């Protein structure tokens, strides 16, 4: 019977335990460049079996929030190299989450104030984090997007592939393609945002086309064994919906099963909300979803996320329901979360006022058990 604390290898990733730090946007990398404070933050959490970096934009067009890092500037790659070196020095593993936000952006974040891009010119009823004219940070309504032209879509896949190569060059052990939470690939997948009538819209096969093209481009660039993907079949995050998520995501994982990926990262229910959330008029069975993947021959690590406790994470791995479990907010307040789970120790409470933006407070100053001792 496997446990959370067993070492495991999936694809080219060798992990010292099965506890994963989920991607967490913290808005502490001004000008999209990781800095020395970011190095400390990631190094503190390197006891995780795997760290998935915060969402990292593949291009400026893919940038949707102020002060989040990218993978498209030379100085950003230099900053990431310091982070990956620090994580590896502590025996950790880290992958970069490749991010294109699509319509979840603001004109102030786009080159020359351009409109954000999306599968269709449908605005999201959502907000993003920007820097105001007075230098303060705050949330603002997302801007009206424009629909991507058919001729632009091969370039999107190429942007992901270039970012994946840059990530590996910067020392990452691999990448996670962000196909979740209402961002660009999820917008193409789900019919609430995708109203196209060409080869990338309408049928499930068409709506899944761009995601699979991105997966193939990234796997070709760095190897399937270094590649994972994050999916969120039923989250309403960023105003995303689908009329038949079971059919859609069963098709997606049947296709992914043939591609030899390292891991599939699944957000159960609403991101940061109820694990049993379903879209109105639709239903989704997460266990059947995994069974579809396995039946299709999939052998990637099945990584589950959303609201897990120490006990439910242990049960998920020991029962075989998951190979790995990721924790988001608990890792913010508990840099030594792995030890706290293993020792059945109390968890620090998170400070919601310091989640986004700022400096060391609420970022690198949460106490460890060792410090308390």
What is the DSSP secondary-structure string of 45-70?
TTTSSEEEEEEEESSSTT--STT--B
Q: Tokens standing for 273?
A: 């909300």
- Asked if 49 contacts 80 with a C-beta cutoff of 8 angstroms, the reply is no
Q: Tokens standing for 188?
A: 């193409």
Query: What 3-state DSSP class applies to 38?
Result: helix
Compute the distance between CA of residue 332 and CA of residue 26 in angstroms, rounded to an integer.
9
Closest by Cα among 260, 249, 259, 313 to 286: 249
Place of tokens 């190094």: 43
**Among 72, 183, 286, 363, which one carries the catalytic annotation?**
183
Q: Tokens standing for 254?
A: 């049947």
183 is catalytic: yes
- Asked if 313 contacts 326 with a C-beta cutoff of 8 angstroms, the reply is no
Compute the distance between CA of residue 154 and CA of residue 350 in angstroms, rounded to an integer.
41
Q: Tokens standing for 246?
A: 């079971």
Q: How would you class 231 by CB atoms within 10 Å of its CB: exposed for 0-12, middle for 13-18, buried for 19 or more?
A: buried
Which residues carry out catalysis?
Answer: 183
């Amino acid at each position: 019977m496997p446990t959370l604390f067993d070492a495991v290898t999936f694809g080219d990733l060798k992990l010292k335990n099965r506890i994963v730090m989920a991607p967490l946007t913290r808005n502490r990398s001004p000008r999209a460049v990781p800095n020395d404070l970011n190095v400390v933050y990631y190094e503190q959490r390197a006891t995780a079996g795997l760290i998935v970096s915060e969402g990292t934009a593949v291009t400026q067009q893919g940038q949707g929030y102020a002060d989040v890092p990218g993978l498209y500037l030379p100085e950003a790659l230099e900053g990431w190299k310091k982070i990956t070196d620090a994580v590896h020095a502590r025996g950790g593993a880290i992958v970069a989450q490749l991010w294109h936000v699509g319509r979840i952006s603001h004109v102030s974040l786009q080159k020359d104030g351009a409109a954000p891009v999306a599968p269709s010119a449908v605005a999201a009823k959502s907000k993003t984090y920007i820097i105001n004219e007075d230098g303060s940070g705050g949330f603002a309504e997302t801007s009206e997007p424009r629909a991507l032209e058919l001729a632009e879509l091969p370039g999107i896949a190429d942007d992901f592939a270039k970012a994946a190569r840059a990530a590996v060059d910067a020392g990452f052990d691999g990448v996670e393609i962000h196909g979740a939470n209402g961002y660009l690939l999820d917008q193409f997948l789900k019919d609430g945002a995708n109203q196209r009538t060409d080869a990338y819209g309408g049928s499930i096969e068409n709506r899944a086309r761009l995601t699979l093209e991105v997966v193939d481009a990234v796997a070709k660039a760095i190897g399937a064994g270094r590649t994972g993907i994050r999916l969120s079949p039923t989250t309403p995050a960023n105003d995303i919906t689908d009329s038949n998520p079971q059919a859609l995501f069963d098709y997606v994982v049947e296709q992914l099963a043939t591609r030899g990926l390292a891991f599939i990262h699944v957000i159960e229910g609403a991101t940061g909300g109820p694990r049993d959330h379903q879209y109105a008029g639709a239903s989704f069975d997460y266990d059947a979803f995994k069974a579809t993947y396995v039946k299709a021959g999939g052998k990637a690590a099945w990584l589950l996320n959303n609201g897990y406790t120490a006990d439910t994470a242990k049960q998920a791995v020991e029962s075989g329901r998951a190979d790995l479990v990721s924790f988001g907010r608990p890792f913010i307040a508990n840099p030594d979360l792995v030890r706290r789970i293993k020792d059945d120790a109390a968890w620090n409470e998170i400070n919601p006022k310091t989640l986004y933006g700022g400096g060391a407070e609420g970022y690198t100053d949460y106490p460890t058990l060792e410090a308390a001792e």
